[in-house]
Amino acid sequence: MAEDDFINDIPQTTMTLEQANILRMADKLASDPRTRRDMQAMIKKIHPEYPIPEYDMSSMVETRISEFEKKQQEKEEALRKREIEERVARGRGLFKSEGFTEEEIAGIEKRMVDFEVPQDYEKALGWVKKEREFSAPRNMGYEPPTFSMPKFEGLDKDPEKWAREESHRAIDDLIRSRAQ
């Protein structure tokens, strides 16, 4: 559709006051840099083939920029993903070199996520080593005291005789200890 066709779509009659006001408003909207782009977009929506070089060029540039940004974002995301995979592989290798099994490494990685230290395998190895160091049983050289229970021979046969003999024995021990 050519420019003349668009103009010819407007009926060639005398304008009412309301139509004149609408035309003035459309002119203001098209002249104002804040609303010009929206006005051009509305025209393109109604007449997509109508040429508006300013709008068509900026739309084409915006499309190319958004395509470029999308490709860049995809590249950056792929790069980030590869870096994370490499970091995880290095971290797992670090744990394997320390003698950890796959199951232990999986458990440690779960704890890393729980403690919000993902991808920091060096820090995780440090705290796992400390845990193992502190949890290992240690011999502190402490032996609990052993007590020997007194023998109560004769207690069950004659309790009074046993009590008298024990009290005499205790008194004799006291006298001997004072004499020394």
Q: Are residues 83 and 122 in the same domain?
A: yes
> What residue ranges of the chain have pLDDT lower than 70?
1-13, 117-119, 134-142, 147, 150
Note whether residue 130 is domain-resident.
Answer: yes
For residue 117, what pLDDT is reported?
66
Check whether residue 40 and residue 84 sit in a common domain.
no
Domain-embedded: residue 102: yes
Q: How many folded domains does the chain comprise?
A: 2
127 and 86 in one domain?
yes
In a domain, 44, yes or no: yes
> Cα(first)–Cα(last) distance of the chain, in Å?
133
Calpha distance 40→30 (Å, rounded): 8
pLDDT recorded at residue 100 = 83
Residue 29 tokens, joined: 């909207």
Cα→Cα distances 149→48, 152, 153, 159, 164, Å: 107, 9, 12, 18, 19
Let me know if residue 99 belongs to a domain. yes
The answer to whether residue 155 sits within a structural domain is: no
Q: Which domain holds residue 19?
A: 3-51
What's residue 1's pLDDT?
Answer: 47
For residue 64, tell me if it sits in a domain. no
- Phi then psi dihedrals of residue 125, to 5 deg: -60, -40
> Is the pTM here over 0.75, yes or no?
no
